[in-house]
Chain A
Amino acid sequence: MATVIVNNTPVEIGADERLNCIQAAAKIGVEIPAYCWHPALSVVASCRMCLVEVGDKKPDGTVQMQPKLVPGCQTPAKDGTVIISDSPKVQEARKATLEYLLLNHPLDCPTCDQAGECFLQDFSYRYGRGYSRLQEPKNEKPDKDHIGDQITLFTDRCIMCTRCVRFTREISGTSELQVVSRGSHEEIDIFPGHPCDNKLAGNVVDICPVGALCSKDFLYKQRVWWLKTATSVCPNCSTGCSVHVDQNEDHVYRLQPRPNPLAQGHFMCDDGRFGWKYTHSEQRLGSPGLRASGQIVSKDWDSVLQSVRGALKKAAESGANRIGAMISPWMTVEEAWLLCSYLTGLSPKVTLAMGPVRIVGEDDHYPKDVKGRAVEPVTFTIRAEKCPNRAGVELVLKHFVKEVIPAEELLRLAASGQFKAVWLVGGDPDGWISELQAEAFSTTDTVIVQDFLPSPVIRHATHLLASGTFVEREGVFVNHRGLAQLIQKAVRSPDDARPDHRILWDLAERRGLFNGDALRKEISEAVPSLALLANSSLAENGVILR
């Protein structure tokens, strides 16, 4: 056990922790400002913002301070290290550094997208001088919107921390971004004709501490202080990146990665980052419906759910194994549990199948070398399995049935006319059933479709339940390695659509509003493999089930 002294306060550091001065100070809530240092990137100590006084405490109790200030990001905290971050000397150095960083900064905060979450603003406010002594014209550099399909560079706002350059070299490995020229003419740029278009490019916008790199998708859409944030999980592949969903007035504006050492680390891929657009699609199913004289007619939820219950009851009474259900890997654990327990409650023998699990290509590992081959050690993986919760749904299904059958098997059974009623849950925005597959249900009496986008199977649907996307729902997703993470409701569903958890809660005629905590407790008591769902740390970084 090592002890570091930060501003006269001893801080205990674990034996296997390798921390620098910034991290050691953060342990007791002392902020050492830094721009170029990022926990996931290499150390360059170029911004000089984290300068602190560092010394050594000798065994005889005397403290030997180093005469000069040293960068805190580059100085390891070891037993007896003394860090002083609030002395006049340090404060003077910070003021001088900030004045220097702001020399050529345009100070166009009102029109800058980063304003409100900008480290240059924050640190200038906390540690800066508040005025400039520059008498010369500022060095104005042209903006570069050719830098990537998704990113744009406001060159004059850049403070040359080179986080983005190191990101493309170390995390994505694609090395598109680089520093050109020297001194005050330094600029971030690309090699002509090689834009920064890799699948992790969106991350450079997040790691940019100022407003230099901006997302073209989010540019000028909202001021960041209007956004309300919910914690969630990206559903686009089974990596299950922890994310923040930023919304305002029920409109999602962006997804940002939420650092989570158990899930993906600090970053996320662009497929997920921009892969929520279907949430606001014009095609969204707006209200529940019933089939009357060949047409789906919009109805209110009470009568649709009443009709669903009646139809399922009739099917259950007509004999054993006359009900089939396709449980989508896009459902949360809670939703799968509610639906399975309702159906098995009607008839102990029902057919429960895992919905189609879309596999696209192979797992995509980063960093890549010049030829596009993955290099060890892997920093980021985009998985081929394009659904968020296959593992979680499988655990629930295994509790209810001996054998989990794939979707094709259910289609075959349906085509053979075994079922009187089927419940089909969609949820895959890129389509989950083809025209041909949908024909399997043409002769089934009752086809209940729960989905938020139109699909070929709606042609045969007798009951239509307009459900919600992942930003409208609450529950647990279990990723490829068994990490259970909580997703929070960020926005309300459009029109008369309802989030799946609410539909199924109402279907089961449970009292009151959906209560996730109580439901997870119920599941954790019933299913041993999901016992950790009641764990209180689920809401933060999640819990690993195995």
Chain B
Amino acid sequence: MSESSKQVKWVEEPELGFWEATFVPAIIQGLKTTLNHVISHKAVTEEYPEVKPDLPLHYRGVHRLNRDEKDRVKCVACMLCATACPARCITIEAAPAPKDWPDRDKFPKSFVLDELRCIYCGMCEEACPVDAIELTHIYDLTGENRDDLMYDREKLLGVYDETKDNPRDPVRTKRGKLGAAADFQGLPTLGPATDVAGNDRSARTGTSGVIAGSGAPAKENRS
């Protein structure tokens, strides 16, 4: 877009004063920074691998498959992680759960995660309705061949056993069996997951866990 001459504001370059023209103040300013570094030096180099880095809590490293309270794999083989995965590195084969697991319909017969293909975005963790897959702080995984980094179910459960007691890798959330909605025995009734119309007669009755706010005008109608 061309500007009209009226819109253009011309700015004059400020003229150099005497001291500025000698460059002495600028040199002193620069030397001060240099001297500061000489006097109060603080090393930023990390002595890796002797000293392990202090990673932020949200660091996303190698995956683990959590165990439930009976030490079974928590995964229910819903394959939502495989659906969410942008790198398509998760391959799950589901099967009907063993007969002695009365509370489960389905379990992962095989769960293979290609750690080489993974981009560590954490989408699997977010998609999981039962918090079975989580990313840990382990970042230095090595293997002698590609197959070593195809993590199967047992290996991923092994990562859980290894990291569950590490304060950096707590089992982060404790959602129910299949998400809050399905855990009807342990959890209180949920409030509206969606916006409620003000004139919704049934929403006016008190339900525990209704979050008041702009999204839920149900509370003001309750009086």
Which of B129, B184, B202, B207 is close to A137, meaning CB atoms less than 8 Å apart?
B184
Contact present for A225 and B83 (CB under 8 Å): yes
Residues on B with beta carbons closer than 8 Å to the beta carbon of A219: 96
Contact present for A220 and B96 (CB under 8 Å): yes
Contact present for A111 and B77 (CB under 8 Å): yes
- A220 and B94 in contact, given A107-B178, A132-B190 (Cβ under 8 angstroms): yes
A61 at interface, CB cutoff 8 A = no
Residues on A with beta carbons closer than 8 Å to the beta carbon of B181: 107, 132
Residues on B with beta carbons closer than 8 Å to the beta carbon of A154: 105
Complex Cα spacing A131 to B191, Å? 6
CB distance from A96 to the nearest CB of B (A): 8
Complex Cα spacing A221 to B94, Å? 7
Residues on A with beta carbons closer than 8 Å to the beta carbon of B192: 129-131
Which of A96, A111, A130, A223 is close to B83, meaning CB atoms less than 8 Å apart?
A223
Q: Mark A109-144, 1 if CB is under 8 A from B, else 0.
A: 111000000000000000001111111011000010
Complex Cα spacing A99 to B189, Å? 14
CB distance from A293 to the nearest CB of B (A): 40
Q: Mark A507-538, 1 if CB is under 8 A from B, else 0.
A: 00000000000000000000000000000000
Q: Number of contacting residues on A, CB 8 A?
A: 28
- A135 and B189 in contact, given A95-B202, A110-B78 (Cβ under 8 angstroms): yes
Determine the main DSSP class of B at the interface with A: loop
Determine the main DSSP class of A at the interface with B: loop
Residues on B with beta carbons closer than 8 Å to the beta carbon of A106: 182
CB distance from B96 to the nearest CB of A (A): 7
Q: Number of contacting residues on B, CB 8 A?
A: 33
CB distance from A213 to the nearest CB of B (A): 14
Residues on A with beta carbons closer than 8 Å to the beta carbon of B105: 108, 111, 143, 154
Contact present for B189 and A132 (CB under 8 Å): yes
Q: Mark B101-113, 1 if CB is under 8 A from A, else 0.
A: 0001110000000
B142 at interface, CB cutoff 8 A = no
Contact present for B194 and A131 (CB under 8 Å): yes
B79 at interface, CB cutoff 8 A = yes
Contact present for A133 and B96 (CB under 8 Å): no
Residues on A with beta carbons closer than 8 Å to the beta carbon of B184: 107, 134, 137-138
Q: Please give me the residue from chain B that is nearest to A92 by CB atom.
A: B201
Residues on A with beta carbons closer than 8 Å to the beta carbon of B203: 129
- A111 and B106 in contact, given A131-B190, A133-B189 (Cβ under 8 angstroms): yes
Q: Which A-B residue pairs are the 10 nearest by beta carbons?
A: A110-B78, A130-B194, A220-B94, A111-B106, A131-B192, A107-B182, A110-B129, A107-B181, A130-B193, A138-B184
Q: Which positions in A face B, CB cutoff 8 Å?
A: 88, 92, 95-96, 99, 106-111, 129-135, 137-138, 143, 154, 219-221, 223, 225-226
Q: What are 16 A-B contacts with C-beta separation under 8 Å?
A: A88-B199, A110-B80, A110-B179, A111-B78, A111-B105, A111-B178, A129-B200, A130-B193, A132-B190, A133-B189, A135-B189, A137-B184, A137-B185, A143-B105, A154-B105, A221-B94
